Amino acid sequence: MSTTPSRVEQPVLESRVLRNNRLSDPHIRAVTVYLPPGYDDSPPRRYPALYLLSSHGSTGPSLLNWRPWHVTIQGQLDALIAAGSMGPLIVVMPDMWTRFGGSQYINSEGMGRYEDYLIEEIIPFVDRTFRTLPDRDRRGVVGRSSGGFGAITQAMHHPDVFGAFACHSGDLYWEYTCLPPLSRMHQELEQYGGLDAFIRDIPTIRPKGSTFWDLVMTVCWSAAFGGNPEVPRGFDLPIDSNTGALSEAVWARWLVHDPIRKLDSALYAEALRQMKLAFIDVGQYDEYQLQVGARVLHRKLDVLGIPHVYEEYPDGHRDTHYRYAESFPLLYEALQ
């Protein structure tokens, strides 16, 4: 008996929590869902679900993009299942895009209630639309880069929702991840005519070179970590607008979001202790020095006695989607 092939569905969900978000980003969005081989066979069967969070500058649907010399995410999942590396599962690729290149997967005054969107709207929608096993023990979260930050953060916030996570080359340890680009933020803003002009021009700046990406990342972090309902744009800059120096008060609010520091809270440590799988990896030559944060996290988890899988690879930050072949099977197994 042959099995029906995998397929991708993109049903549309109208969000209540994203309505009237400050950046006027859409509140009606597709939810991209991979349904595994056999999903359409009878008798009906339910599957564990993995929430795959994209990195800054991309979004759920973009994970389907054709990329040169790469299998697509659908092909990669099909191959892992066909090879018996893991059983069939549903993979959800939510669209958390904003004008600033992403939402960081948290609620923020500056961008919108994206964490609520994920937890309160997308997950229930998926669970009622597709044949998931709607249980935290059968639901995992995974991502790369900013998506890896999203995965560990959501696991810390919602151990009742997620039973396992994988953080690939995640944004960790703000001193090295955020501070170097912050040192350049003032000069880069000047280059683009100031914050208001930059925000206005983001969609049309051409070409979008390395300076653009550097700056849009720091603006995104600013909106995510420096929220302030009192100011028109909903967030404070982490730098003094005259000198460009660090604004210590705002920076302190950023640090609260660093997963390294969050682990000092018993609540969040306890959340990770409840995970059936905590998977962390990084490339030892990461161009953003994320290997430092990964190592610090690894040691802190050891000190706290929190079981986890930790891997380093002899490569960098880019072109590392291949590592899903390591984490997906472990997640699948943990979610049994």
Q: Distance between alpha carbon 124 and the CA centroid of its chain, in Å?
A: 19
Please pick, from the candidates 36, 48, 61, 227, the single residue that binds a second copy as defined by CB under 8 A: 61
Nearer of residues 87 and 213 to a second copy, judged by Cβ:
213
Nearer of residues 88 and 94 to a second copy, judged by Cβ:
94
Tell me which long-range contacts 309-315 makes (C-beta under 8 A, separation of at least 24): 309/277, 309/278, 309/279, 309/280, 310/280, 310/281, 311/279, 311/280, 311/281, 311/282, 312/281, 312/282, 312/283, 312/284, 313/281, 313/282, 313/283, 313/284, 314/283, 314/284, 314/285, 315/283, 315/284, 315/285
Question: Which positions from 29 through 58 interact with a second copy, judged by CB under 8 A?
Answer: 57-58
> Is residue 299 within the footprint of a second copy (CB under 8 A)?
yes
Shortest Å distance, C-beta 64 to a second copy: 8
Pairing label, strands 90-93, 32-35? antiparallel
Distance separating alpha carbons of residues 141 and 132, to the nearest angstrom: 14
Binding piece for a second copy, criterion CB under 8 A, among 111-119, 176-184, 222-230, 301-309: 176-184
Residue pair 217/203 in contact (Cβ under 8 Å)? The answer is: no
CA dihedral sign, ordered 49, 55, 60, 63: negative
Nearer of residues 43 and 69 to a second copy, judged by Cβ:
69
CA distances from 18 to 61, 118, 149 (A): 18, 11, 21
Please pick, from the candidates 26, 87, 316, 329, the single residue that binds a second copy as defined by CB under 8 A: 316
Q: Is 137 exposed, middle or buried (0-12, 13-18, 19+ CB in 10 A)?
A: middle
Stretch (H or E) spanning 317:
none
> Is residue 208 within the footprint of a second copy (CB under 8 A)?
yes
Binding piece for a second copy, criterion CB under 8 A, among 80-88, 115-123, 144-152, 288-296: 288-296
Can you list the alpha helix ranges (DSSP code H) found in 5-98?
73-82
> Is residue 179 within the footprint of a second copy (CB under 8 A)?
yes
Phi, psi of 17, deg, nearest 5: -75, -25
Give me the residues paired with residue 47 across strands.
132
Q: What is the DSSP letter of 117?
A: I
Binding piece for a second copy, criterion CB under 8 A, among 103-111, 122-130, 201-209, 326-334: 201-209
Shortest Å distance, C-beta 193 to a second copy: 15
Nearer of residues 276 and 323 to a second copy, judged by Cβ:
323
Question: Which positions from 244 through 283 interact with a second copy, judged by CB under 8 A?
Answer: 244-246
> Is residue 101 within the footprint of a second copy (CB under 8 A)?
yes
Binding piece for a second copy, criterion CB under 8 A, among 130-138, 147-155, 237-245, 328-336: 237-245
> Is residue 310 within the footprint of a second copy (CB under 8 A)?
no
> Is residue 303 within the footprint of a second copy (CB under 8 A)?
no
Shortest Å distance, C-beta 137 to a second copy: 32
Assigned token pair, 214: 């550097």
By CB under 8 A, name the binding residues for a second copy.
57-59, 61-62, 64-69, 101, 173, 175-176, 179-180, 183-184, 186-187, 190, 202-203, 206-208, 242-246, 284-285, 289, 291-293, 295-296, 299, 315-316, 318-320, 322
